[in-house]
Structure 1
Amino acid sequence: MRIAILDDDSNLLELACTILNAAGHTCHPFLSGKEMLHQLRRESYDMLILDWQVPDLSGTEVLHWVREKLPAALPVLFMTSRSGEDDIIAGLAAGADDYMIKPIRRGELVARVQALLRRAYPSQSTPEIIQFGIYKFEARAGRASVNDVPVEMTQKEFDLALLLFNNLGRPLSRAYILEAVWSRDIEIPSRTMDTHISRVRSKLTLRPENGYRLAPVYSYGYRLEQVSAE
């Protein structure tokens, strides 16, 4: 999972990223609230961790923007050195899903992050068979079918299709897709992703008459939407 973390303490930021990377996540650190906000307009993340007090733009200000502009399900963990009950209530009232009092402890950070991710993305604790209407995915075997008719797909096409369905309705940035499907292999040509998107759309007949539309999001990435069958 891609996790963006905001804190103006570079040592704490490095420690938190080391812990989260070791737990299998990809950590994107930000020392400035304005820098994080700039990136949130261009990138997608699975979770945010926000320090309460950052000089240029506080965690609460970032959070207000996030709750106004980004999907409601995006989990947010507040990290704060303020342990008063009023502070904690204020953080949760501002829209945080959970809070953690500094100094951070490795086990607690991982546990809180995993709990929030499980709650936000239940479909990504991948069962053997995942079904979306007429579309069926056998996760471990890497097989897909439409109306029980097998569809021949490469592993990358399968991974891309499953990523899109697991994030139905959510715009995914090109960097997010690249990281999730190609494991940060930044050497791939830029057209490779577009070619794979086109193949997935064609092979799975992702058209409105089948209830889905796979559309580009201008200057950002792609989104798979559920639509009324025409």
Structure 2
Amino acid sequence: MKTDKQIYTLLGADPDFLRVLTDGIAVRGPYLFEALDVKGLERRTDGVLIPRAQDEDIWVMEFQAQSDPLIYHRLLLEMALVGERHPQRVVRGFVLFAEAALDPCTEPWHGLMTRDHQPPLRRAYLPEVLKRLAREVPDHPLLGVFLPYLEADLERLRRQAPTVYRQLQATALPEASRRHCVEVFQSWLNTRAGRGIRPVRKVLGGATSPGSHAGLG
């Protein structure tokens, strides 16, 4: 299931979401989370975290859902080119792997991440992040957002989706963060709808509000 866009949306939506999904990366104040066209690589870097405070580090972030033995090398290149744009700032890198098995454990970076308490590169594994979140904060809204992504049983997803949808609409978050949660949930549910739970409107039923089906079904 295509997830890159939704993951980057959540990383940029809320500082708490950022901290949770990156296993601890935090910013003190406002930040930009944007995509940059990196001319030196002739490619687009989808996740660049730029805190407004000049003394805070910039983070180049990647979500990796496919096998790529060169992911760390590519991330280092992106960091260097972002650093050229911001020569007065420290630039660090982060990879969120969809599964631990996708991590190529490239040295010397893998060893450095295990030894250094503040390494230039960091990584996390999404299943571990969400399992820990479920233990520590079982009512966290991100767990609801990820339901269509995680729940393999389509019938169980069909039963749970309306309740989770209502909870996300009512969750105590800033309006923009809540809207992003609902949009990502709908997007993933819509993707799953193409795999056996169509139509989405019937899945959500009376839980939806006018206009909330945009892009669904």
TM-score by length of 1: 0.33
TM-score by length of 2: 0.34
By percentage of residues, which structure has more helix? 2
Q: Which has the higher contact order (CA 8 A, sep 6+)?
A: 2
By percentage of residues, which structure has more strand? 1
